[in-house]
Structure 1
């Protein structure tokens, strides 16, 4: 049909989805009462694009839930190190997401994936000082506390040596996801 697009053709034509997932999407759409030959007539090419993306994300959400869609983001990995004194609670990481006017853009979400073997790890949502480079438009925010999160590490009593912990960080929207591995040196 001229000017229309079938559900089947819109799903199959997406270059971002492989053919196996395309079949799953089509099956899910059919199970929701949409027939592959149903015609939807967008008014403009922008409407067409919105329709295609809306259908794809709706079906992905139904198939995998919100967490499954977010997991599709590329996970960036980082390695960090920290030195702490035995017997003391120490901040080893702080995070914040701020807009250029220093207002809160999002609250960091930090999850402990591996708490290590020789200490205690705590994630606390609290006010923190950002740490932007001078070239960043948010550099002026470094002088004021903003909503954020801190990671505290407390080594086991009388322990000295090394420990390793792993965290996952994302924003509320999960636009970016990081996995960080910390090598912690515990000294007297």
Structure 2
């Protein structure tokens, strides 16, 4: 049996990520999030899955820039995916799978705009880059 793999690199509503600054990105996207000052929020999540929802391997995720007014950290753990209904892996959205997430926290008392850029090289060879703008209130 031949198993095809694909990757979902997603946040709450957007798919995308990237590789390294020297790499040719196949997908580029950006989106905005809102956070309260000093509180952690999820700004990125991703996992590479087979059609049966098993792990297809680990993605190479990096923070390639920012944030300027806080910190972001990458955490390996269980995540929910966000596959489109037309994707064979849509059924995987209802269960937590092994993946990675980016968690952002602004500096204490900071209010304003912050930005960070993630890059990912997926296990199956795709390159993604995503820019996250955070409005800190």
TM-score normalised by length of structure 1? 0.58
CA shift for structure 1 position 76: 2.5
Distance 1:114 1:129 in 2: 25
Which consecutive residues of structure 2, in runs of 5 or more, have no partner in the other structure? Answer: 1-21
Structure showing greater radius of gyration is 1
Change (3 A) 1:118 1:72: closer
Q: Specify which of 129, 133, 137 is matched with residue 179 of structure 1.
A: 129
Where does residue 9 of structure 1 map in the other structure? Answer: none
CA shift for structure 1 position 116: 1.7
CA shift for structure 1 position 74: 4.0
Where does residue 108 of structure 1 map in the other structure? Answer: 59
Q: Specify which of 93, 99, 122 is matched with residue 44 of structure 2.
A: 93
Structure 1 residue runs of 4 or more that deviate by more than 2 Å after TM superposition: 71-76
Which consecutive residues of structure 1, in runs of 5 or more, have no partner in the other structure? Answer: 1-70
Please identify which structure carries the higher strand content.
Answer: 2
Change (3 A) 1:166 1:87: same
Distance 1:92 1:128 in 2: 12
Please identify which structure carries the higher helix content.
Answer: 1
Where does residue 102 of structure 2 map in the other structure? Answer: 151
Q: Specify which of 93, 107, 115 is matched with residue 164 of structure 1.
A: 115
CA shift for structure 1 position 157: 0.1
Where does residue 14 of structure 2 map in the other structure? Answer: none
| Residue aligned with 2:32, SS | strand
| Residue aligned with 1:141, SS | helix
Distance 2:25 2:132 in 1: 20
RMSD: 1.8
